[in-house]
Amino acid sequence: MNKGLIIFLNGTSSSGKTSLTKKLQELSGEPYFHLSIDVYENMAPEKHLENNYWDTLRKCASAMHNSIRTFSDAGLNVIVDHVILDIPEENGWLEDCVKILLDYPVVFVRVNCPLHELERRERDRGDRDIGQAKWQLERIHGHGIYDLEVNTFDNTIQECAEQILQFKLPANYSNAFSRLNEKTKEMI
């Protein structure tokens, strides 16, 4: 069975990942399953999150990373909606994804949006902590290795989704995750 394609979105809160996911699902002729860190986090009992937030979230993230592979192995395409930050609490998350999904067809997408627009969206939504997007933006794309970048301010969600759907992975899976894997090996 062919592995399902994995569109892996990484971006701050309010960058447009969920909107992009819905548009990708609408435009693509193929079904895509949505795996979001928010959904995995919300599977945990509130009490657990309140008492032991990072330990619980790390376990949720680990389960999510393994699920991505499970979906792909079942021949199901996946859109991953994630916020992987360069902070001690999330240490190893990106490496974990790279290790688990190294030989999988992953398109790693950097979802960009300028700070002023993130802050505007954050204010308009009213259901996000003010300042969260700025804090994340300063800690998110440091490694700089992606297959593709989209900008949800310069382009419409429709245009961003089309850019992703038009992207073709090299046949040998020589993708951002394989480059990240090489980088990790060099650092050992």
Ligand X SMILES: Nc1ncnc2c1ncn2[C@@H]1O[C@H](COP(=O)(O)OP(=O)(O)OP(=O)(O)O)[C@@H](O)[C@H]1O
Query: Which residues contact ligand X (rule: CB under 6 A)?
Result: 11, 13-19, 38, 121, 125, 128, 152, 157
Minimum distance, C-beta of residue 175 to ligand X, in the bound complex (Å) = 22
- Judged by beta carbon, residue 125 or residue 183, the one nearer ligand X is 125
Minimum distance, C-beta of residue 128 to ligand X, in the bound complex (Å) = 6
Beta strands of 92-164 (E only): which ranges? 106-112, 148-151
- Judged by beta carbon, residue 160 or residue 176, the one nearer ligand X is 160
Minimum distance, C-beta of residue 182 to ligand X, in the bound complex (Å) = 29
Minimum distance, C-beta of residue 174 to ligand X, in the bound complex (Å) = 28
Helix axes 93-100, 176-187, angle to 10 degrees: 120
Alpha-carbon distance 108 to 175, whole Å? 8
- Judged by beta carbon, residue 3 or residue 15, the one nearer ligand X is 15
Alpha-carbon distance 10 to 81, whole Å? 7
- Judged by beta carbon, residue 16 or residue 105, the one nearer ligand X is 16
Name residues whose C-beta falls within 8 Å of residue 79's C-beta, 6 or more positions apart in sequence: 7, 9, 21, 24, 25, 32, 33, 34, 35
